[in-house]
Amino acid sequence: MRVAIVGAGAIGGVLGGRLAARGHEVALVARGEHLAAIRRDGLRLVDHVGSASGSYRLPASDDPAAFGVQDLVVIAVKAHAIAAVLPRLRTLLNDDTVVVPAINGLPWWYFHGEPGPHQGRRLRTLDPAGTMFADLDCRHLLGCVVHVAAEVRAAGEVHHTGGRRLVLGEPDNSASGRLQRVCALLDDAGLEAQPSPRIRLDVWIKLLGNTSFNPVAALTGYLMNQICADEEVLDVIRAMMREGMAVSSHYGYPMPMTPDQRIDMARQLGAAKISMLQDLERRRPLELAPIVGAVIELAELAAIEVPTIRMVNALARGRARALGLA
């Protein structure tokens, strides 16, 4: 398949390298020193969970228009960059191109194809300019929830440090042929792709971990295993999860697990450095809006109190401002 990875950083680099190792025509969209290193030396994937380590010499550019129409486009940029990227994807698409946003947080398309009173609702936290639905036709989209840990440790060098699971689903919850094909493609690349009949439930399961663990990691500097070993910090995590579960239940997705069962899922990532801590250390903007702010916005719409989530969000935002990241 012809596959464009838009945002060949940590997760994008893992997917690009693994797909290239299986012989697919992979093109990478990157920028800055990372792009320069990929052009010079190839994309170096260091695979700590499998056997796909290697250097992959792949076409790379900061302009998606360099690559022409693709079969699959993976969006793996940070959430705050998505709105600017979407109109630039048009040259990659034909009627059959599938677009998979492999992103953190609540996706901007969340209420697309979801029956009920919020059908088509735009969340200001995710789409403040109100342009995203117009810039990419949602019929191209497959939802994706990423349970993979990865880091860019040097320009052009991506480490796959934990996890293989990707959950994918149609926004209308159908069992489509293209969903099966994309899952088969990713399975063949050494990942564990799971088709979901209720992708929004899977979004919430991941989001409840992100909403709590990510800002706490940014505030404490802890790796995942350190958070999970600190009972005082875990009490904050549990409180945030309980509040988030009240919000998800209101919108039709009660959690099939307790906070401690969700924490046990996080333990499986071991000593992973969570994405928001990676961004803070690299002095990059934090993804607080889609990961925490969107949950607060949904809570406000439902008149649900989320005091712990609000407090941790305020502290993380203050930390970002102190470092000039907001």
- Chain segment 117-148, per-residue pLDDT in tens: 888 889 999 999 999 999 999 999 999 999 99
Using an 8 Å Cβ cutoff, are 100 and 7 in contact?
Answer: no
d(CA 269, CA 161): 8
> Could you give all domains of the chain from N- to C-terminal order, each with its CATH number?
2-197 (3.40.50.720), 201-322 (1.10.1040.10)
d(CA 217, CA 291): 13
- Chain segment 67-99, per-residue pLDDT in tens: 999 999 999 998 889 999 999 999 999 999 999
Q: Which residues are catalytic?
A: 206
Taking the model in full, what pTM does it have? 0.93
Using an 8 Å Cβ cutoff, are 79 and 290 in contact?
Answer: yes
- Chain segment 263-313, per-residue pLDDT in tens: 999 998 889 899 999 999 999 999 999 999 999 999 999 999 999 999 999
Cα within 13 Å of Cα(92), Cβ side: 32
Using an 8 Å Cβ cutoff, are 246 and 304 in contact?
Answer: yes
Strand partners, 151: 159
